[in-house]
Chain A
Amino acid sequence: MKRIVMMVVLVALCLSLFTVAGAATKSVDVVPTLSFSGTTANCRVNISRYGSEIHATLQLWRGTTLVGIWSGTEANNLTVTGSCAVTRGKTYTLKVFGTINGVSFTGTNVTRTC
């Protein structure tokens, strides 16, 4: 009886893992870029996944202060751009997150000093 219960638990565990796998975002090409021109930060993210609805939010942070936020939605290929005033010598972090066909994703941050 103990063995049967253990087998059932194992099978359920495996099934739950496969369910998570099925829901996950796959093969999405994300290109975030942060550049400075003088005291203006230029932020951009391009996200491609053919056949999907893409929603993304772009945030620019200086430490724990949010200095800019931009977002957009498009099918197949989304580019979100934004610019804002920054301070020379300060370090800024660009964060990207959103959803692909309703499944959330978070991108790797880009950190640069103005």
Chain B
Amino acid sequence: MQTGSFSDSELKQAAAMVCNSMLEALPPPEECNHSFSASFEDKMQGLINKETRRNKLRKALRGVAAAILIIVFCSGVWIATDAEARAVMVNWLREVYEGSVVYRLFASETATPLPQYELTWMPEGFEMTDLYEDETLYSAVYEDSSGDKGFVFKYVKMQEGTKIYVLFLNPDTPYENVEINGVVAQFYPKSDSSDSNHLEIINEQAGVAFGINSNLEKSVILHIAEGIALANETK
């Protein structure tokens, strides 16, 4: 018996020779006439049909998934790069830009006048000390008698070309989402005693952006904000 190792090509040649000799030992295909039973043929046909259907379904599902992925990807890119596209979906955006938190308002200009809002609650002893009002902006200062405590209450009509930005040293300053009368608002706490708290409320339904800037406590500011109401509703 011959011992030793064989190379890959020698093994390949040997395998081919064995394969040929086995095939030569078989009768030719025309002599292999065998008729399968009708039930077997039916079963096989069923199996073939089932597999064909499955393949078609798989192909179709793959196509649908690819189309959905392409749509999602393209929409994402479009919305990320085109401000107007974003505006179609939302009327405002909160962005961090060069050290500021910027609220960009996209709502299209309408001829509707700025609604009149009023504060139904404020701390006792507070009075309005300054007011600016025009067609798209209302801004008022309220202070106590000492002038040590106070707040600025403003609201602006949401329209194209308006930006509201809250300047911060660090745009990553932690802010808190709070709910004011069913609207999610952002509360920016003061960082030290020389700073002031700020609350920004974008009411898309009303088309108005509200802001309260104050050295009062958070709970007081939120209470004031909860008391913002349309002037004619309170009468």
Contacts and interface: CB of A to CB of B under 8 A. Distances in A.
B137 interface: yes
B137 A29 contact: no
Given A24-B169, A108-B97, A108-B102, A77 B137 contact: no
Nearest to A100: B167
Contacts of A46: 132, 137, 139, 154, 156
Interface in B105-164: 109, 130, 132, 134, 136-137, 139-141, 150-152, 154, 156, 159-164
Contacts of B200: 29
B52 interface: no
Interface stretch (A3-11, A32-40, A56-64): A32-40
B55 interface: no
Interface in B211-230: 211, 213-215
B214 A26 contact: no
B107 to A, nearest CB: 13
Contact of B213 (A49, A74, A81, A110): A49
A48 B139 contact: yes
A108 B196 CA distance: 21
Contacts of A112: 160-161
Interface residues of A, number: 32
A70 interface: no
A95 interface: no
B161 A29 contact: no
Of B141, B150, B152, most A-chain CB atoms within 10 Å: B152
A73 interface: no
Contacts of B198: 27, 29
A77 B130 contact: yes
B98 A48 contact: no
Contacts of A101: 194
A51 B109 CA distance: 33
A28 B167 contact: yes
Contact of B141 (A21, A28, A29, A76): A76
Contacts of B203: none
B139 A108 contact: no
Given A46-B137, A77-B139, A105-B167, A29 B132 contact: no
B143 to A, nearest CB: 8
Interface string B16-40: 0000000000000000000000000
Interface of A: 21-22, 24-35, 44, 46, 48-52, 74, 76-77, 79, 81, 101, 105, 107-108, 110, 112
Given A81-B134, A108-B97, 4 more contacts: A26-B168, A29-B213, A31-B211, A77-B132
